[in-house]
Chains A and B, each alone.
Chain A
Amino acid sequence: AQSVTQPDIHITVSEGASLELRCNYSYGATPYLFWYVQSPGQGLQLLLKYFSGDTLVQGIKGFEAEFKRSQSSFNLRKPSVHWSDAAEYFCAVARFSGGYNKLIFGAGTRLAVHP
């Protein structure tokens, strides 16, 4: 069965430091992969997605992610974190069922940013 694992429940970084959030997936075919961010009291915003092609994808707010098939990973990175990046981050994989894709989410990683 398809699944998504985010090993880190909480991460704390200093403002200006680099960031990497880990995501591992289990999926039989070529996956469609996503990163979403949820700020407190808000819905989910799509940061970036991977469908095919270049394995390094660029997203909004200066985020990027790299798809590594050999490691079944899709880690999210940012070179310099801003205080406004404090939020919960969800990795998701699309599962094709009933004619369209349904999202399976990881447990999420809560990011805290120290000034």
Chain B
Amino acid sequence: SAVISQKPSRDICQRGTSLTIQCQVDSQVTMMFWYRQQPGQSLTLIATANQGSEATYESGFVIDKFPISRPNLTFSTLTVSNMSPEDSSIYLCSAGLAVAHEQFFGPGTRLTVL
């Protein structure tokens, strides 16, 4: 298994600003993903963070709004840009090994946009 940490754990931000969320894994992993969990909802995949190349975004999510970096096999960032109250959600990072097929999740970042 992998232990995943995220920073910050929560934040309150003003409309129009941006927030960068960090995800750190305690071991080298093949896959890293970013999810959004809107209030009272399930998890929706935002994108796959690819090491050394551009992230792969799911339908409905774009790079300009959610730029992602993954400079190495244990670290990734997600930026929520030009925030609006609709971006208030929990953002979760997950990671795993392709051969294992399973994902382990970080504790999440609870974002509130005023």
A residues sitting closer than 8 Å to B (CB atoms) are 32, 34, 36, 41-46, 49, 51, 90, 94, 98-108
Contacts and interface: CB of A to CB of B under 8 A. Distances in A.
Contacts of A36: 105
Interface of B: 4, 30-31, 33, 41-45, 48, 56, 92, 94, 98, 101-108, 110
Contacts of B108: 42-43
Contacts of A51: 101
Nearest to A106: B42
Contacts of B101: 32, 49, 51, 94, 101
A99 to B, nearest CB: 7
A103 B103 contact: yes
In the complex, the 9 A-B pairs of residues with the closest C-beta atoms, listed nearest first:
A44-B105, A43-B107, A43-B105, A100-B98, A105-B42, A105-B43, A107-B42, A43-B108, A101-B101
A98 B31 CA distance: 11
Contacts of B105: 36, 43-45
Given A51-B101, A106-B42, 17 more contacts: A32-B101, A34-B102, A36-B105, A41-B110, A42-B108, A43-B92, A43-B106, A43-B108, A44-B92, A44-B105, A45-B105, A100-B30, A102-B48, A103-B45, A103-B103, A105-B42, A105-B44
B97 to A, nearest CB: 9
B33 A46 contact: no
Nearest to B44: A105
A69 B86 CA distance: 39
B106 A90 contact: no
B42 A90 contact: yes
Nearest to B43: A105
Contact of B56 (A44, A49, A98, A103): A98
Contacts of A43: 4, 92, 105-108
A49 B102 contact: yes
A44 B102 CA distance: 12
A98 to B, nearest CB: 6
A11 to B, nearest CB: 16
A106 B108 CA distance: 18
